[in-house]
Amino acid sequence: MLTERYLQIFVTLADEQHFGDAARVIGITQPPLSQGLRRLEAMVGAKLFERGLGRVELTPAGVALLPYARRALSAIDEFHDAAIAQDPDGPEIRLGLAPEVPASVGAAVAAACGEAVHGSRVTVTSAPTSSLVGQVSSGRLGLAVVLHPAVLDGLQAGPVTLLRSWALVPTSLHPDDGQPLPLRKLDGLPVAVRPRAEAPAARDLFLDTLGLHRPGGGTVVVTDDRAGLAMAAAGQAIVVTPDDSLQAAGVGRHRLIDDPLPVRLRLVWPQPRTPNALPPEVMAQLTEALAEP
């Protein structure tokens, strides 16, 4: 059966000419993208793209079918818009949250979304900053809370909100005395950091600042805060996080003197007239929700 997703894969791949880029724009991984394309080509009975090293190009059949796919997709979008207008449950607000956003802060922004637009339904997804920015640009998300600094080509963005960080330090390294610690002293264990590609500019700023204040000690890459906390509990890593709720036995919570590693967050949203864009006055309200978490 021909689905919206197949059309989306076709059109996005034609625009991006790159499997990885297209997958990122759609917000899926590469294997389902490749599989979707194969199924669509089987359905059409012709190859739509020539695959080269790292790049893809439309075949003549692809060129011929592309305008039809675009028209079909825009008709589906119109259908969605019309359906939302009929929907007794009200309009949908799609919110994206970067994984570094503490649970309570994400919850506050989501709650503010519900209050800002009467009768709306709020759906929330979590994804790395680099993926969220693409999803907001394409209009798949109405807004997102992302790490700053990030490349925000053409997006609207609110002010930078700074969240103070905690250092979660194994008690084997420092007693759980609640005392603020200088970052310089925390060189006995590596600091847990999430993968760089998720948000290169923000991650580099973190790593550069870490390197300035704490020349030794190194870092260890973890997939998420759960893994980081588990490594701290095992006495293997230090976690730097603004999240008040992360805790574990054998891990002490300390402020860092002068707060050299705050988490910087920004609300981003698409240009007006993009699908799923919210009115400017609503966005002004929501940037306040992030500013006063």
Contacting positions for another protein (CB under 8 A): 16-18, 20-21, 54-55, 130, 148-153, 157-160, 162, 197, 200-202, 204-205, 262, 264, 266
- Nearest approach in angstroms of CB 149 to another protein is 4
Compare residues 36 and 158 and give the one whose CB is closer to another protein.
158
Name residue 43's amino acid. Answer: M
- For another protein, the closer of residues 131 and 170 by Cβ is 131
Evaluated on CA atoms 241, 245, 247, 251, the torsion sign reads: positive
**H or E segment at 97?**
strand 92-97
Of the two residues 62 and 252, which places its CB atom closer to another protein in the complex?
62
HSE-up (13 A, CA, CB side) for residue 176: 13
> Minimum CB separation from another protein for residue 158, in Å?
8
CA–CA distance from 110 to each of 96, 117, 174, 281 (Å)? 9, 11, 37, 16
Q: Smallest distance from the beta carbon of 162 to another protein, in angstroms?
A: 6
Considering the complex, state which of residue 44 and residue 205 has its C-beta at the smaller distance from another protein.
205
> If 0-12 CB within 10 Å is exposed, 13-18 middle and 19+ buried, where does residue 100 land?
buried
268: left (phi over 0), alpha (psi -120 to 50) or beta: beta
Q: What is the DSSP letter of 256?
A: B
The 10 Å CB-count burial string (b at 16+, else e) for 265-285 is bbbbbbeeebebbbeeebbeb
Q: Which is nearer to another protein, 136 or 229 (CB)?
A: 136
Please report how close the Cβ of residue 130 comes to another protein at its closest, in angstroms: 7
Minimum CB separation of residue 86 from another protein in Å reads: 38
* Cβ at position 153, least distance to another protein in Å: 5
**Closer residue to another protein (CB): 45 or 52:** 52
Q: Tell me the C-alpha distance between 108 and 115, whole Å.
A: 11
